[in-house]
Amino acid sequence: MRFNFKIILNNEKIREYLFFIGVLFLILLPKGGFKIAGIPITWGYLYLGFLFLLSILIILDKRRFLVSSKHFLCWAATLPFVIYFSINLLFRGYDGSFGNLIAFYVSFGFLPLLFYIFLSSFLKKINQEFVENLLTNAVFWISLYGIILFAFKQITGSYIEIPYLTVNADDLGTLEGKYNMRGSLYKLISTYNNGNIFGVCMLMLFPIFHKQNVSKIKLGIVILALLLTLSRTVWLGLLFYFVLIYRDRVFKLVKVYAFLGLILFVFATFLMNRYFQYGSLSGFILDSNLGGRISQIKQFTGLSFFGSQTFDFIEEIVYLSIFKQLGIVGLILFLISFFSQIYVALSTRNNNYPYLLGSLTYLFVCLSDGCMLYIPTLAFFYFINTMIFIPKKSA
């Protein structure tokens, strides 16, 4: 008996393999890597750098470079905010760490350029059925792993940590210090090392998963994973998404909310009321301190055109944080940067609606906690924004 292991690598297959590697390192293993001078270097972001260089080489070889007008407009809309921030930096200084400054320019300068300009034509040439199936499977498996890790941690008191893969090698043994506890309960963190980051990132991909997935069991597992993040931000984001898709179907919306409420009730009965720092589910939801965010609101000192604080970091409440540090001008430019894809999508036709829902959901959760400068949040955001303008019929 003879086996033929020959693999025919045509251009379409190469693009699919390249996309699969991106999913592996950005969705399944987003925190794998190491640190240099305290700055996290992840395999996923290194891979994005590789794709950037590959794109440059292809452009130089073909001497031809085409970008759709929609993608170009979205990229151009990001420039004024970055320029304004840089000018603000020169005149007012900077109070944050060098790592956070690098994170800002990678997040707001490099990622939009990479996705809108250099990767948009690459993503357009991949079979969209392949893309959505791969994303759907990735969301399910990383959610299932998250639930298994959640149960393992509650039972044994330890995380499963694989240095360089599921956790940054320099963060080994430090996951409990990454705001992952609710009393004596530990949040579901999967391979994202933080419950909020996992939840926010999965919310952006949830509309694609919800549209493509046909299994109610898998849907229940992903929703359970989102609920086990023990994050009010993630819960609100999930509710917001269902409002968007069922806004004209009240009975369906009530059924969904009843289902989510039942899961929370069962979970609260067996775990929350006994081990939760808030004492009960209602105490958690109605927390007057808003999980520490009330202090961010109290720091608000009034209107300012250019900000009342020297910039250091983007806090949980994204829009308020931008306003306090960069003023009315900075907030307006930020909103132009972050909502441009919504405007372009609503004013044009033939767009990819599930990705638009993911973008809207993220913009909503930024009212509470956007995890904005944390890896890999904005890589997800600019990816789905790019995909908005790649209709499924493209292959």
**Lowest-pLDDT range, 146-155, 268-277, 319-328?**
268-277
Read off the pLDDT of each residue in 213-239 and give the average, rounded to a whole number: 92
What pLDDT does residue 289 have?
Answer: 53
pLDDT(257) > 50: yes
Of the candidates 308, 287, 132, the one whose C-alpha atom is nearest the C-alpha of residue 209 is 132
**Lowest-pLDDT range, 82-96, 134-148, 259-273, 315-329?**
259-273
pLDDT(215) > 90: yes
Task: Measure the CA–CA gap between 113 and 297, rounded to whole angstroms.
Answer: 33
Count CB neighbours of 4 within 10 A.
5
**Lowest-pLDDT range, 83-92, 268-277, 331-340, 345-354?**
268-277
What pLDDT does residue 201 have?
Answer: 97
Read off the pLDDT of each residue in 349-355 and give the average, rounded to a whole number: 94
At residue 331 the predicted structure's pLDDT band, cuts being 50, 70 and 90, is: very high
Give CA separation, 249 vs 42, 207, 255, 256, 258, in Å: 43, 17, 10, 11, 14
Q: Report pTM.
A: 0.89
Is there a contact between 382 and 112 (Cβ–Cβ < 8 Å)? yes
Cis check: omega of the bond before 376, within 30 degrees of 0:
yes
Please, which residues have CB within 8 angstroms of residue 264's CB and are 6 or more apart in sequence? 227, 281
pLDDT(98) > 70: yes
Task: Measure the CA–CA gap between 236 and 362, rounded to whole angstroms.
Answer: 11
Task: Measure the CA–CA gap between 273 and 210, rounded to whole angstroms.
Answer: 31
Read off the pLDDT of each residue in 113-130 and give the average, rounded to a whole number: 94
Task: Measure the CA–CA gap between 89 and 311, rounded to whole angstroms.
Answer: 8
Please, which residues have CB within 8 angstroms of residue 177's CB and are 6 or more apart in sequence? none
**Lowest-pLDDT range, 206-210, 283-287, 356-360?**
283-287
Is there a contact between 189 and 201 (Cβ–Cβ < 8 Å)? no
pLDDT digits (tens, 9 = 90+) for 17-61: 999 999 999 999 999 999 998 899 999 999 999 999 999 988 887
**Residue 16: HSE in the Cβ half-sphere, 13 Å Cα cutoff:** 15
| DSSP code, position 24 | I
pLDDT digits (tens, 9 = 90+) for 369-378: 999 999 999 9
What pLDDT does residue 342 have?
Answer: 96
What pLDDT does residue 246 have?
Answer: 83
pLDDT(284) > 60: no
